[in-house]
Amino acid sequence: MLRKGPQRRPGGMVRETFKHAAIYSGAGMLGRMISFFMLPFYAHILRDIGYGVIGMIDASLALLASLFAYSFHTAVLRIYHEEPDPARKPVVATTGTILVAGIVLPLSLVAAIFSRPVSGLLLDSPEYWHLICMALAAFAMDVIAQTAQTILVIQRRSGTYSLIGLMRLVIGMGLNILLVVVLRWDLEGFFLSNLIVGLASLVVSLALLVRSCGRSFDRGIARRLTAFQMPLVPGSIASFFSRQVERVLVRYQLDLATVGILEMGYKFPSLISLLVVGPFLNSWSTQRLEMADQPRAPERIGQVFTYFVYLCLLGGLVLAVNIHTVLRLLTPPEFWDAFPIARIQTLQVIMHGVGMHLTFGLIYAKRTGVMARLAILTATIKVGLAYLLISTWGLYGAAWSSLLATTIYAVWGHVLARRHYPFLMEWTKLGLMTGAAVALFLGIDRLTTAQIAAWGAPVLGTVQAGLDGLRDTWLGHWKDGKLLVIMSDRGDLVLDLGVRTLLTATFLLIMPLVHTETQHRIGRRWARLRGRT
């Protein structure tokens, strides 16, 4: 039976979701812009081998994350909103954070003790052991900090959340420029920078948590959190293997440099998760739990799902039509062939976000055991698919196996979740959006850089004249004018990027067909115009 929740206007909650999601998006972008701003430097300094090392270490850290089901964020949200005593609600956040720290710190310490053999196994050399230790320390601090920040999501303190992202950007950018670019500490500088950023984030997050909620630990709440979370652990471990198996198979069937190319292909689609999926779910996860028992909630949840898919398709479309150009602009030639992988991975990221919405009924009913069994089954399918497809298609097989497994989880999970909380799907709108996105992608993708450069020849000529005028300035003498040479040689790529992005903006034209309030607003304005005439 559905329990009666707090009474708030669903329409207002939906608008509030978008407001906070936009702020979270900016916060995430600030916190993660470091790696994308530094991408050209990383690509040219670390090369494909360096990216391969980073990819394999990240894979090993994901195993640790799976052992405690990727922090207690969802558990804290669910138990917080379930707790009937307002005085005990803050204790849920502090208890969850202490639990996560009590698990991740010992696990990280044990892993650090075995860092030398792990380095030899993963990277064919024990010399990378110190990088693994730094990565472990940064990982532990980040996970504890993220759990502590759950209280900011619950209290909708999105501005404070954004300030933490800004802090990470400023510190991380400065350290990366100093350690990687100036001092040329290469991989050591990369991991040391992450370690210091993680420490700063942990200190600030814990200070905010203690100030808001105190330091209490409640054994009863801990048992409830554990009862919710523990069934997820087997599924999380299985999901780890399903996500990382392609890296391992590529590593041993191909080579470490190819893992670096795979990592580059996977890097850009994470922008969709960073700017759309993550921020939206940060805001919506707590809102939908509050409104789930209210009248018309299933209809509202279905509407928000439609809006979410629209935003994902818009972001995915911009990325898919531009990724080849972006790689040619920012990376050395060995990474250019990663663009088909990035396109497939873009679909995977979108489908993962869709699955997070479609399985809401399982979270609502606290059927975490069902979620774990589903994750294990789909992980088993993923391993088989990865081995078969990588053996056949190489890197492309790795990306396709990930997409297929994620799709199976989303569809199957939705079938199971509807038994506990069926929300209304707007199938006509979803089909219209998807068809428009596919048609627009196919049309834009047929254009070549040469065609766009020919159409924009006057623009390129004006830009080139401006660059020539700068040759006698300090910019023309700095580094022997290398920056001006690069800008001159790649002007056609910059134009290509701008034109394709503008063309994808036509997807905005279908927004009135998707968003009911926009339809009504346009209708009212049209009626007023007709009344004046």
DSSP labels, 335-381: GGGGHHHHHHHHHHHHHHHHHHHHTHHHHHTT-HHHHHHHHHHHHHH
pTM over 0.75: no
* Domain assignments of the chain as residue spans, ordered by start: 1-26+231-426, 38-68+70-229, 447-533
At 463 the three-state DSSP class reads helix
Taking only the tens place, the pLDDT of each residue in 102-128 is 988 998 899 899 989 988 887 778 888
> What is the b/e burial string over 37-55, where b = at least 16 CB atoms within 10 angstroms of the residue's CB?
ebbeebbebbbbebbbbbb
Closest CA to 270 of 278, 260, 261: 278
Q: What angle do CA 151, 212, 84 make, to 5 degrees?
A: 65
Highest mean pLDDT among 37-46, 236-245, 364-373: 364-373
**Which pair of tokens denotes residue 283?**
């805001």
Taking only the tens place, the pLDDT of each residue in 382-411 is 888 888 888 888 778 888 988 999 999 999
274 versus 179: which is more confidently predicted? Answer: 179
The answer to whether residues 277 and 356 touch, using CB atoms and an 8 Å cutoff, is yes
Q: What angle do CA 341, 343, 348 make, to 5 degrees?
A: 90
Taking only the tens place, the pLDDT of each residue in 299-341 is 989 988 999 999 999 999 999 999 999 888 877 788 888 899 9
Taking each helix axis from N to C end, the angle separating 278-291 and 339-358, rounded to the nearest 10 degrees, works out to 10
CA dist 116 and 305 (Å) reads: 46
CA dist 307 and 143 (Å) reads: 30
